[in-house]
Amino acid sequence: MIRKTALVTLMASGLMGCATLTNDENVPVALSFSSGKSGTCALRNKRQSQSANIPSVVQVRRSDDMLQYNCKTTRGKEATGAIPSTMGGKIVASAVFIDLGIVDAITDKHREYPASYVIPVPK
């Protein structure tokens, strides 16, 4: 009986750690320009492309590649670059308890972008 309880507890804790089950597909990222001005950006990673008004909070699809941006302020200044994604901690639980992290690696739901990012605009 104790073995069954331990097994159920172990399996439940593994399910709670799987990013595919617990993370949303998208992550909110608050974007603004270093100049404090407004404008627009074309955002893209391998899972999504979108246009966004800046400043704003944008829902970005999680991905293991960088979020590329190509922006233009209302004053005509251009800024290009990329925001790196990082690996969240839930992939570790998935790797240990469930499926060796395979499902999380396929869905990229273990990946994170920063909650906020200031896009550098040249002077």
Q: Which two tokens stand for residue 42?
A: 């074309």
State the pairing for strand pair 116-119/111-112: unpaired
Residue of 82, 84, 57, 62 whose CA lies nearest to 70: 82
- Do residues 60 and 45 make contact, with C-beta atoms less than 8 angstroms apart? yes
Residue of 82, 74, 76, 75 whose CA lies nearest to 42: 82
pLDDT in tens, 24-41: 889 999 999 999 999 999
| CA 31 – CA 39 distance, rounded (Å) | 11
The pLDDT value given to residue 4: 56
Say which residue, 38 or 94, is predicted with more confidence: 38
Would the pTM count as exceeding 0.75?
Answer: no
pLDDT in tens, 35-59: 999 999 999 999 899 999 999 999 9
